[in-house]
Amino acid sequence: MNQLKCLPQEEIVWGLDVLKTVAASMGSYGIRRPIIFTVEFLDALNREHLQPAVGDSVGTFTGLPPHVPDFAVQDGLRACLGARAESIIALGGGSVLDAAKAVSHLHFQQTGRYLPIAAIPTTLSGSEFSHYFGVTETDGPRKFKRSHAVRETTPRLVVLDPRMIVDTPRMLLLSSAIKGIDHAVEGMRRVDVDHPHAILAARGVERFLAVLEKWPRKLETRDAIAGGLVSTDDLMQLQLAAWQCYFYPASVIYGLSHRIGHILGGTFGVAHSLTSCIALAPVIRACAGAYGRKLEIFAMDRGSRTPAAFLADRIEAVVDALQLPSRLGHLDFDRARLPEMAALLKQNYPAEVSDLGDNAGTRLDALLEGMW
């Protein structure tokens, strides 16, 4: 059965310096008495662009470590309740957005009311468009990042302003773009080529790669703009690509690259955006049989190569050209922990592991070894 599921997202606004206008009228979007969720290194951005414009803000909460640990979610809930916040403005990347969604959900469980969210993303992974969030549980024998899907936590308003990503650290910004491509590719796992996800995702991947394949080496974004090598329109194109790659998240089910990312991040502490740089291309090759011809939509000019080989090669080439880590060994990941990682994947994500085909367990062991 084909189906399209839409999320309760009311408005998405995009353009250079559009935040100036939107921040001053948050109330008209239903964002009243907001608490601002962000992280310390974005506090200058918050003070310059948000706090002066949002007249009824009830404060700022910055206690948001990566991978959304459960104790930080509880702290965020207490901050909301203590300030009598009626909404959340989330300024940041995926971890900030996930924390806002998790807190909104807990607020509903405690009070019967979700906190509406306005999202101002500073990375390109696309969490602002979805109802998914991960929370790392820290009270067991090992940390584990558990996924949740709650429609009511979908950000009501999203503001895409290139000005907000100018100072995002190079590695974080560019690796989050690879995470965005991951959403497009693994979103094909349970849909066909005529699904709206497929059509938009293919356009999003091309939009991403058109910018990333010309991106300068080493320079931070602000320096690249100053040198005329990158423009604010390029940044806008990256933000629109992230949206197209993640346009219908409620209609798709993601696969093994995402699950590897959850284990690497939640359990082993690898930066979430980097996980797709390491896992996506190898997983595309290893799971080519499960996707079949559906990957052709990303590989129309592939020549004699298979769609999976062409797409994986292209992603791998971009990761290398951007000087992003492409192996676990580049991150000093302990090779001796690969069996533990494999066991967690087999135990918690058997359906995704089964995409590897016959003898999936053995193939998974080989895949992880190759990623190291």
In order of their start, the domains of the chain are 11-165 (3.40.50.1970), 179-371 (1.20.1090.10)
Q: Strands, E, within 62-190: which ranges?
A: 87-92, 117-121, 132-137, 144-149, 157-160
CB 107 within 8 A of CB 80: yes
pLDDT tens digits for range 217-270: 999 999 999 999 999 999 999 999 999 999 999 999 999 999 999 999 999 989
List the one residue out of 211, 201, 120, 204 whose CA is nearest residue 174: 211
DSSP 114: P
Residues of the chain with pLDDT under 50: none
- What is the C-alpha to C-alpha distance for residues 88 and 220, in angstroms, rounded to an integer? 30
pLDDT number for residue 324: 97
- What is the C-alpha to C-alpha distance for residues 125 and 119, in angstroms, rounded to an integer? 13
- Crossing angle for the helix pair 94-111 and 70-83, to the nearest 10 degrees: 60
Strands 132-137 and 144-149: antiparallel
pLDDT tens digits for range 17-51: 999 999 999 999 999 999 999 999 999 999 999 98
pTM flag (> 0.75) = yes
